[in-house]
Structure 1
């Protein structure tokens, strides 16, 4: 049995599950439209992505990326400033690419969803009303017109892999769409504010840091209910609730 690879549960919740068997990741998702979008986005993206080994719905098999994740939300990153800058450069390459054929969320859609989530957070005593109100005010700065770019849509730090100071690949493209460039930069640096300067330096152009902070609030407010309902803890140290508190 020594040559039998162990099965590791990478993530599992009501929407989908990802398993690792040796050097292969198996993504199980009942929503095939979501998998279709992920495969197409990886084919279009001008940055390294996992190799698609095979697909047999509802399973998508992907080759493991070399290196390690740039970091994890709630944990200090051991990656170098140069690695963070390389991540910023990779994001800029993506944003400079031709737009994907499908649209993203509009400002009006985001504003409506934000209103609903804030009401739920207060009505269910998930967060103090003053914390929600203050972050709702901060989030307003993100709800403005933007020039759409090719966005990853869920560019959390654990989805970017590096080997030394080089980006080896970007995972999980199910949320890719046309969107706001600063949203990707905000998600990448969520909970890792100390590396924002490195990312912006690698990105290579001026960005509005106030809007990035607004996206930190907006992203966190929108995520908390989903995280709670899917068995995750947004109140863990360094995670979404702490991000909201830091905005006070």
Structure 2
């Protein structure tokens, strides 16, 4: 399957964080989840964000995905300062430029695999015939062409996660963010899942995974380790 990301060359910066901080109140306490992160991630990179629980990984991922806004500093995705987007604009930006894969899948239980993948395509205004064809193509890509009429309860955990990947890729995003994508899966299923992601960076899609899984981190081209809300190390492994 040719994925076809938006125009731009490999090496172009997709994510830029400039002194990003995120704090929030928990009762009377001020929690500093992210503390002054500077970071650039290029088109076609596969980066894993690692670190102990509570170090700010998921908070940073939400900032990169325009789900949350920094308390100070800037997050730019494809050159857009995400904090400057209004609610409607941010929703549209996420729909068209960012694909999300979550640990718990978040599939609609009353819809088939095909219909789940079609949802973001319908929201983007694609006509019914085109979105059915695109969803069928994606389900074939993730190895579920023969399961497209099944509902989530009729699918294994690994199959549900593959549907979630197909849905994330539906609108050909430049950036795919995943939060512990193998966390609910056994080792063999997690390995098969990583094979699905394998070709995407070569086609120019940027992958950023938050993970505790050393297998995922070893597959990534780059491992960004957080500690106490800061980048403690940033290691490149070379090509995936």
Q: Please give the range of the TM-score, normalised by the shorter of the 2 chains.
A: under 0.3
More helix by share: 1
More strand by share: 2
Q: TM-score, normalised by structure 2?
A: 0.28
Q: TM-score, normalised by structure 1?
A: 0.27
